[in-house]
Amino acid sequence: MKYFPFFLILLLAGSCAEPAGEADAQLLEPAFDLDSLTEVAARQYAKTLETLPDTNRIPRNAHPDGTWNLVKKGNWVSGFYPGVLWHLYALTGDEKWKEAGEAELLKLDSVQFFDYDHDIGFRIFNSFGSALRFTKDSSYVPVIVDAAKTLKTRYRPVTGVIRSWDWHDQWQYPVIIDNMMNLELLFWAARQTGDAEMETIAISHAEHTMDNHFRDDYSTYHVLDYDTLSGSVREKVTFQGYADSSMWARGQAWAIYGFTLTARETGRADFLKQAQSAADIFLKRLPEDGVPYWDFDAPGIPDEPKDASAAAIAASALLELSQLVEAADDQYRYHNAAIALLNALATPEYLAALPQQGLLLHSTGHKPGNSEIDEHIIYADYYFLEALLRLKELQPPTE
């Protein structure tokens, strides 16, 4: 299989055996106009505002005919649609997105107390957290703090990690790589409340994940099962990937993002190195068009479905990672890789057009479960818009 020019970007930016000097680095420019792409996103979601039924349910994935699959507030993705609206507000300044975002938050009443899985961070920090970030309205703070208190209850000292799921009988104490994404809620709440235990829990979870969840090449396992008595790892398996030994694309993107945010919050070099290592194997193995297949080791490549959501998550994470690394070559390398991912997504192949709704096409939710295959999925749009916002706000490496 051919590798995309991402690998050339890595070489130009100095990831080869003989690193290029700072003067040799080349800054990759977006192949899209940010304002025009924002207009496309606004057009697509304006249609959703017009056609969304008057219901307490929340968009999850859009079908080719333009209809949405709507879910209850307890669904793990319920925070992403409100987050999309808040991102559109931040990108456009248009008050209609703020009003729509506020209306969607009402649908999440009491979700901060839902204690049956780790996804409370996705539900609350991406919705209420985004509202707080873009409005500075302190009335959102108690909801987010309550969510962090709920997440805290899922931690057990014997394992040192936060339990992900309660519903699967085959595991004693399952922990998935996705769980790294919810640590941001704990870090934020620790600063907000002065509850240092929240930060201690987040760091412990990250340390155990760093020690146990990665293979020698820094690809990740999806699910680890811990023994509830000894705290040791019982098995390392997959649930949404192709095989226990394969690199599930979205899981690897979660790892890049999760360790990047943990490095940002702690300032620790080991977490930063873990984020870089997870990113490097992801970028090295990307296919020719730059958008990963749902699993890097899926047996039917190139006839396997893609996962645009993994590309969007990684792009957003890489933009932030480029701001955290010290070496100029690394700054260029991760910034350029993020731009290349966004360039690949910002094309007619991956951008929806009316009557389709949503923004990014060709994501895969749960291939082994035959669910959401080659569809638009809401979290792909959330991280794509987050990446555009970061691109607008962050300072690129200086040439």
Q: Which residue numbers are catalytic? A: 119, 178
44 in helix, strand or coil?
helix
- Which residue type occupies 262? T
Half-sphere exposure in the Cβ direction for 252 (13 Å, CA): 31
Q: In sequence order, which ranges of 125-175 are alpha helices (DSSP H)?
A: 128-135, 141-152
Compute CA distances 209 → 115, 178, 226, whole Å. Answer: 21, 11, 11
Half-sphere exposure in the Cβ direction for 250 (13 Å, CA): 24
DSSP labels for 76-145?
Answer: TTTTHHHHHHHHHHHHH--HHHHHHHHHHHHTTTTGGG--SBTTHIIIIITTHHHHHHHH--GGGHHHHH
Residue 233 per-residue DSSP state: E
Rounded CA-CA distance 73/41 in Å is 24
Residue 220, both tokens: 């990740």
Q: Which residues make beta-bridge pairs with 70? A: 59
Rounded CA-CA distance 85/381 in Å is 10
Helix orientation angle between 308-324 and 269-284, rounded to the nearest 10 degrees = 140
Helix orientation angle between 196-212 and 183-193, rounded to the nearest 10 degrees = 160
Rounded CA-CA distance 84/66 in Å is 18
Ramachandran bin of 265, using left for φ above 0, alpha for ψ from -120 to 50, beta for the remaining angles: alpha
Identify which of 375, 371, 394 has the alpha carbon closest to the alpha carbon of residue 324: 394
Identify which of 90, 110, 111 has the alpha carbon closest to the alpha carbon of residue 34: 90
Q: Are 148 and 189 in contact (CB under 8 A)?
A: yes
Residue 41 burial class via C-beta count within 10 angstroms: exposed 0-12, middle 13-18, buried 19 and up: buried
175 in helix, strand or coil?
strand
Q: Are 227 and 172 in contact (CB under 8 A)?
A: yes
